[in-house]
């Protein structure tokens, strides 16, 4: 439900920004609107980790988050070094977020595959 807020706030903020071409504080307020649901997701994830009683599930969630964060940091550093070395382009929008999700998904799948329990147990 929290991410549904993102699907409302981002298009709304983008629409307003395209129409009024804001500057200053209004621009900053429009930019923070789509971030609020993401902060909500982070808060919910923190609550989940705090309340999860199963140590294995909690450990798995933390490991996947760490892999996602590592992937995001790698892409951020790579693009920063490209700019330092003279590249004038930019990565596609939300590339770091997609890398974060991709790394988390790959980590989840790899952990699940490596810790499979045989069917007869």
Instruction: State residue 3's pLDDT score.
Output: 83
Q: Which residues contact 67 (CB under 8 A, 6 or more apart)?
A: 103, 104, 106, 107
Mean pLDDT by 10 residues, the chain (121 residues): 90 94 94 93 93 93 96 94 92 92 95 76 54
Instruction: State residue 121's pLDDT score.
Output: 54
């Amino acid at each position: 439900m929290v991410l549904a807020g993102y699907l409302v706030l981002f298009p709304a903020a983008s629409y307003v920004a395209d129409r009024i071409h804001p500057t200053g504080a209004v621009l900053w307020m429009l930019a923070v609107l789509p971030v609020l649901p993401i902060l909500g997701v982070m808060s919910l994830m923190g609550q989940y980790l705090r309340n999860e009683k199963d140590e294995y599930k909690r450990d798995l969630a933390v490991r996947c988050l760490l892999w996602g964060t590592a992937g995001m940091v790698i892409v951020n550093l790579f693009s920063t070094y490209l700019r330092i070395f003279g590249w004038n382009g930019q990565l596609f929008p939300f590339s770091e977020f997609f890398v974060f999700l991709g790394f988390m998904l790959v980590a989840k799948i790899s952990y699940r595959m490596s810790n499979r329990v045989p069917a007869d147990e």
